[in-house]
Chains A and B, each alone.
Chain A
Amino acid sequence: QTVTVEVLDHLEHLALVDFRDSEGIERLQKAIQFADQLHEVNTDGIEPMDSVLEDRCLYLRDDDVTEGNCTKELMKNAREKVEEYFVAPPGNIPLPKLEEQDTFLQGS
């Protein structure tokens, strides 16, 4: 089972991970093969487990204000700020298609 260009493109858009070189693609394929071993287990008639916490009690907190008011601390993480607002680029910058990526990254 090979990873197609479409799947690669899709994954890069979703995860913003760079698979650009062939080593990356091979590593991805190996990772998928490794995970596919799960299919060897017979799970017929078994309820899927979606959390190892399934038997734990979900703790409920009282509705009290106990946090916040630490603007100064938080803004320390901001590369850029304007009057205590975080600054971000205007909207999402869509990742270009696989073929255009070399030129795209050269510009950044």
Chain B
Amino acid sequence: LAPWVPVVGLEIHAQISSNSKLFSGSEVQFAAPPNSLVSFFDASLPGTLPVLNRRCVEAAVMTGLALNCSINKKSLFDRKHYFYADLPAGYQITQQRVPIAVNGSLLYSVCIDNKMSQMVTKTVRIKQIQLEQDSGKSLHDDTRSQTLVDLNRAGVGLMEVVMEPDMCCGEEAAAAVRELQLILQTLGSSQAVMAEGQLRVDANVSVHHPGEPYGVRTEVKNINSLRFLAKAVDYEIQRQIEELESGGTILNETRAFDSKLGCTVPMRDKEGKQDYRFMPEPNLPPLILYDTKSLPANMNHQQVVNIDWIHERLPDLPSVKRAKLVEQYGILPEHSFTLLNEDGLTEFFENVVNQTQMKPKKVIGWILKDLLSYLKQHSLTVKESPVSSFVLADLLNLLEKKEISSTAAKQVFAELWKGEGKTPLDIVKEKKLELIQDQKELEEICQAVIHGHENEVIMVVLR
């Protein structure tokens, strides 16, 4: 049987972190009473017009720069038409022809054979980033055969990040999205929490034989976590291979991932291929961005988005942060990945390092093996840790000064985890875990042991 080459591309929608919506002044907030964060424009009442939010433009430029894109100094808005109850206007304002950023790349790492020590860097090309409106939310009430519509989310700004089909499996897709998530959170352009719908991923999957043209692709939607993304992609690849190997064909369709069954199913309510009748948004002139060279002299700076100004203020991206951690503390690259992967862990680690004489290379073991495993066992975040960085540093100092052994230190740590407010020293004294340094005292103990086990001593001497 000829080998199959799976091809995976992604369309990611990231909700922009802003106070108000993309084209209106209503508030952006996750949980609010239905239809309370809706302006007349969001409800698509006649006579209302879109007014672009500068913060959303800046978020898209930041993200484009972080992903090595070319920023289009002139980009355009378009209307994408389709009918759905949560899209009151009957169209979505998006950027189909000339989006704000194009031709970027994202570097991410995957482990070979699940070993963190063998990480490989991969690249996925970013086709484009476009600004667009989010739709409202539909709650399907099948029992009463109706749909309830909440427009709170309608009009919230989105950045659609299109990743070229450079990935080959679920693991790569999940790793790429995870890195994008970390970048967005570092920039602050999106909080990118998948569980709250701030980051939504659709996967495009196809398979073909090497040397042959790409196969028919399917689109997989309804993926709510990174774990499910990997599962959905891998399932779909398998399904397509099995279908083709048994002589079937792949339909160019949209499928939904069913997390309970762990499989993809065709989505209902699809009336064949959609014709979106793209047209220029007549109410919005082109979006012009400037850099220091092209900046006109007399312009009101509130009306200007300066790409260079934004570039100068970009924070350290995750890849740079990791490299700095490795250089500064002498830890391994895979350690830096784990540090950045847990919210607050890097800060915790650095706080401990700053409060102890123990070398960072030793401290990292305590952070990643002891602290992190306890946190995972109890499903706690770093912020919820019963052991603070101060307390851990205290414990490590005792170990460093050789007042206790490392075995004793682990016992103390287990005790500290109960969060009863005792200091490491309290516990050491309580459980008599101090290392004895007195030569005479040690000799007396050894003598006592030898005296108490005369038979065993004879056996040893005779050997």
**How far apart sit A56 and B52, CA to CA, in the bound complex (Å)?**
14
Greatest chain A CB density within 10 A among B148, B268, B288 is at: B148
Give B23's nearest chain A residue, CB to CB. A61
A34-42, A62-70, A100-108 - the one binding chain B? A62-70
Find out whether the CB atom of B18 lies under 8 angstroms from the CB atom of A14: no
Q: Is B287 an interface residue (CB 8 A)?
A: yes
Which parts of A61-108 form the interface with B (CB within 8 Å)? Answer: 61-71, 74-75, 77, 82-92, 94
The smallest C-beta distance from B77 to any residue of chain A, in angstroms, reads 9
**How far apart sit A58 and B288, CA to CA, in the bound complex (Å)?**
8
CB-contact partner of B53 in A53, A61, A92, A94, under 8 A: A61
Which parts of B126-176 form the interface with A (CB within 8 Å)? Answer: 138-142, 145-151
Given contacts A57-B285, A63-B20, A68-B27, contact A86 B271 (CB under 8 A): no
The number of inter-chain residue pairs (CB within 8 angstroms) is 148
Q: Is A21 an interface residue (CB 8 A)?
A: no
**Interface digits, B28-71 against A, CB 8 Å rule (1 contact, 0 not)?**
00000111111111010100000111111100000000000000
Q: Is A60 an interface residue (CB 8 A)?
A: yes
Find out whether the CB atom of A58 lies under 8 angstroms from the CB atom of B285: yes
Q: Which residues of the partner chain B approach A60 to less than 8 Å between Cβ atoms? A: 52-54, 57, 302-303, 305
The smallest C-beta distance from B436 to any residue of chain A, in angstroms, reads 65
**How far apart sit A70 and B277, CA to CA, in the bound complex (Å)?**
32
Q: Which residues of the partner chain A approach B53 to less than 8 Å between Cβ atoms? A: 60-63
Give the number of residues in A that approach B within 8 Å (Cβ atoms).
40
Find out whether the CB atom of B35 lies under 8 angstroms from the CB atom of A92: no
Q: Which residues of the partner chain A approach B37 to less than 8 Å between Cβ atoms? A: 68-69
Q: Is A1 an interface residue (CB 8 A)?
A: no
Find out whether the CB atom of A62 lies under 8 angstroms from the CB atom of B287: no
Find out whether the CB atom of A69 lies under 8 angstroms from the CB atom of B149: no
Q: Is A22 an interface residue (CB 8 A)?
A: no
Find out whether the CB atom of A63 lies under 8 angstroms from the CB atom of B271: no
User: 7 closest Cβ contacts across the A-B interface?
Assistant: A66-B25, A68-B26, A88-B85, A63-B55, A67-B39, A85-B148, A60-B54
Which B residues are closer than 8 A to A by beta carbons? 18-20, 24-27, 33-41, 43, 45, 51-57, 76, 81, 83-85, 138-142, 145-151, 268-269, 271, 275, 277, 280-288, 302-303, 305
